[in-house]
Structure 1
Amino acid sequence: MSSTESPDTATAAALPVPPAGPGALDAADESVDWVALATPPRLTLAVRTPAARPDAPADAAGRDREPALYVHGLGGSSRNWSALMPLLADRLDGEAIDLPGFGESPPPEDGNYSVSAQARAVVRYLDAAERGPVHLIGNSMGGAAATRVAAMRPDLIRTLTLISPALPELRPQRTAVPTALLAVPGAARLFGRLTRDWTPEQRTREVLALCYGDPARITSEGFESAVEEYARRLELPYFWEVMERSARGVVGAYTLGGQQGLWRQAERVLVPTLLVYGGRDRLVSIRMARRAAAAFRGSRLLTLPEAGHVAMMEYPEAVARAVRELIDSTAAARIDVSSGAGGS
C-alpha cells in the first residue's frame, strides 16, 4: 500500500445537483454502440470505446492489451472516462458503459436503480460480452457497484480500481448531505421545479463546483461540452426520476448489514485493488481512504491532495500511472506464478 499525505477536505455550500462532469472534448475520437440484454429484466446499455485504437495487438513491451471496463458514478456517464481511457489504450482494450438510465442508456425495464441492480447490470454485460476477466474501474456509485461485482464474481475481474467509491460513511461530510437528500421521494422533481429558470450554464457550474477540487482546471471546451450534455439530459422525461431512485439506491446500500454490507463485501475482494481518493472531495471524505485501504486486503492507496470527486477527469495522467503500475505488477505476478508452476 502506498499513499501521499493530503490536507483536510475543504467544505463549501453545495446544491443538490447530480454530480456529473464534462464529457469528451472530441466526440469524433470515440464510438458508441448499444448492447441489448434480453434476459428479464431487459436492459439496453450504451458502450463507449476510443475509436482510434492502436493498430498493433501489443504495446511497446510486447504485451497484449487486456480488456477493461469503466463504470461511472451517480449523475455521470461513460463520457466521464474520456480523458483516462486514451492514456491507457496501449495497455488496455477499454470500454465504458452507461449504467441503466444514465448517459445514452434507457431506463431499466424493472425500474430498479439499487447498487445491487447496477452491479448485476455490469455482470450481465461482462457475461454477454465474454471479455472477462477484465480490469474493472469504477467511480463513486460505480465504485460501490464494482465492489459488489468483485466480491460476487471474482472470476470476471483481473484488477479493481476504485476512484472515490461510495462506501458507507457514519458521519458524511456536510457538503454531501444535499446530494443524499435527492433520495427523499419527490425531492429531485421539487428541485427541478425550483430551479426551472436556471440556465444549463448555471446548472453546470454548480455541478462542477461540487465535483472538482479546482473548477478552474476545466477548459472552456470542456465546460461547453458539459453544458451541452447537461442540457440534453434535462430534456429526458425520466431524468429526475433516475436521479432520485439512484440516490435512494446508494442510501439503501449504506444501510445494508451482514454479508450484503458494502464494507463486508470489500473484505471479500481478493483481486489486486487500487484506491484513489481526492483531498478536496466534497462527496466522499478523504477520511475514508484509510478505512478502505484496510478493508481491501493488500490494496494500493493513491491520494491526490488537490483532486475532488472525479480524479480521473481532473488528474487523468496521475490516475493512469497508478492504474498502469497496478496492472503491470499483476501481470508480473502472474508470470512469476506460471514460471514457478512450470519449474516444479
Structure 2
Amino acid sequence: MPRSAGPATPTARLSDTALPPLDTTSPPWPGEAVPARGGEVFVRYTPWRGPVDGPDDGAPRERAVYVHGLGGASTNWTDLAGLLAVRLEGWAVDLPGFGRSSPPRGSYSIRAHVQVVVDVLERVSAEPGEAAGRPVHLLGNSLGGLVSLIVAARRPDLVATLTLVSPAMPVYRVPRAFSPALLLLLLPGMPAVAERRLAGVTPEQQVRGMVSMVFGDPSRIPRQRLDQALTEMRERAEQAWAHRALARSMRGLMTSYLRVGAANAWRMARALRVPTLIVWGDRDRLVDPALAPRLAGAVPGARLLVLPGVGHVAMLEAPEETARAVLGLIEDAAAG
C-alpha cells in the first residue's frame, strides 16, 4: 500500500475508476515530428479509449502531455498513457536530442527544454476536438518533472493539473548513485570529455546500468520492456548527437540549480497554483525520497504518493498505482 504522506500533507487519493488490463507487450505508441522552438521534436500520440465499463457518450475526454527524464524518451510513458486513456488522450514528447528528436539549434539548457514543452502544450491545446482551447494535464519525470514544474509556474493558463514523478529538484550534494566527478561538468570543456567517455559504453552496458540505477526492484521489469529498451539504446548509439545531448542536458540541469531569486525552482514550487500530485518511490537512488514531503509541503495544496519498493520511474515500475493517483487528482480537480 502507498505510504502515508504525514499529517501536514494530503495523501493522494487513488481513483476507483476501472482501468484496462495492463499490457506490457504492446509496442510504443506511434508518433510524428512537430514544430517546436529551435526545430522539431518527435511526439507520440495515445488515443482516448473511453470508459472500460460504461458508455462513451458524455464521458470526460481531456488531454495530457508527458515529459521524460534525463536519458529517457517518450516511450517511458507507454504503459501509463495506455491506462490513462480511459479519460485522457496523450502526447508524449521526446525532448530535443533524445528519443527520435533531432538536436536543438540552440542549447540544452532547462530554459530551452521549458520553451519546447510550452510549444507542445500550446499545440496540443489548439488541436481540434472536444477539449480544444482548454488547459492540458502535464506530467513529468525527473528532469522532465523539473521542466514541467517551471512550465506550470510560468504558464498556469496552459496547465490543468500537474503530476511530478521524482522531479529533479535542486539539491546541493551529488546523489550516491552518481560519481562526484559529475561536478566537473560545470567546468568549461568538460562536457566534451564526458561525451567521449559515454561513447565508450555499449548499449548493453547502458541498459544494465539504467536498470540498476532507476528501478527499485529490477525483477518487476517485463522482459518485453527490457528488450525494447535495448533496441532503443542501439538506435540511439547510431545518433551522432546522443552523447552530447545527455552530457549537455546534465550540465544544463546542474547549472539550473545555481539559480537564485524568482528563477529558483523551490521558489517557483511555492508559487504554484495548479492542482498538483507528487509521486516518489522510496527506493529512488537518483533523487532523494526525503525531498518528497519537502516538495509536497512547498506546493500549496499538493498531494503526495510515496510508493514502497519503487525507484526513480514510478510510471514504469508501478503504472497502475500511479494511474489511479493521477485520475484521483483529475477527478477531484474537475469536481472542484
Give the CA deviation at 1:66: 0.7
What corresponds to 2:76 in structure 1?
A: 80
1:96 to 89, 92, 106: 92
Identity between Structure 1 and Structure 2 (%):
43
CA RMSD of aligned residues (A): 2.3
TM-score (norm 2): 0.85
The answer to whether the 8 Å contact 2:66/2:139 transfers is: yes
**Distance 1:314-1:229 versus aligned 2 partners, 3 A rule:** same
The answer to whether the 8 Å contact 2:135/2:158 transfers is: yes
What corresponds to 2:234 in structure 1?
A: 231
Give the CA deviation at 1:188: 2.3
What corresponds to 1:71 in structure 2?
A: 67
What corresponds to 2:254 in structure 1?
A: 251
The answer to whether the 8 Å contact 1:212/1:310 transfers is: yes
Within 5 Å, give how 1:3-42 maps onto structure 2: 3-4=3-4, 25-27=25-27, 30-37=29-36, 41-42=37-38
The answer to whether the 8 Å contact 2:5/2:306 transfers is: yes
The answer to whether the 8 Å contact 2:50/2:85 transfers is: no
Gaps of 5+ in 1: 7-23, 334-344
Question: Deviations along 1:253-291, whole A, 9 cap, x unmatched?
Answer: 111000000101111110000001111111000110111
Tell me the number of residue pairs that the alignment of Structure 1 and Structure 2 aligns: 305
Give the CA deviation at 1:50: 2.5
Question: Deviations along 1:38-70, whole A, 9 cap, x unmatched?
Answer: xxx53201110125x4278x9758432111100
Aligned counterparts of 1:273 and 1:172: Cα–Cα separation in 2: 27
Within 5 Å, give how 1:257-276 maps onto structure 2: 257-276=260-279
What corresponds to 1:145 in structure 2?
A: 147
**Distance 1:170-1:217 versus aligned 2 partners, 3 A rule:** same
1:318 lines up with 2:324 in the alignment: no
What corresponds to 2:284 in structure 1?
A: 281
**Distance 1:226-1:262 versus aligned 2 partners, 3 A rule:** same
The answer to whether the 8 Å contact 2:199/2:243 transfers is: no
Question: Deviations along 1:219-277, whole A, 9 cap, x unmatched?
Answer: 22111111111011011100111111100110011110000001011111100000011
Within 5 Å, give how 1:153-172 maps onto structure 2: 153-172=155-174
Indicate the SS of the match to 2:138: strand
**Distance 1:55-1:89 versus aligned 2 partners, 3 A rule:** closer
The answer to whether the 8 Å contact 1:139/1:310 transfers is: yes
Indicate the SS of the match to 2:177: helix
Give the CA deviation at 1:103: 0.5
What corresponds to 1:295 in structure 2?
A: 298
**Distance 1:219-1:228 versus aligned 2 partners, 3 A rule:** same
Aligned counterparts of 2:250 and 2:313: Cα–Cα separation in 1: 17
After superposing the two structures, state which structure 1 stretch, 242-251 or 167-176, moved more: 167-176
Indicate the SS of the match to 1:186: helix
The answer to whether the 8 Å contact 2:3/2:308 transfers is: no
After superposing the two structures, state which structure 1 stretch, 177-186 or 233-242, moved more: 177-186
Aligned counterparts of 2:266 and 2:101: Cα–Cα separation in 1: 29
Give the CA deviation at 1:186: 2.5
Give the CA deviation at 1:193: 4.7
What corresponds to 1:118 in structure 2?
A: 113
TM-score (norm 1): 0.83
Indicate the SS of the match to 2:280: strand
**Distance 1:179-1:65 versus aligned 2 partners, 3 A rule:** farther
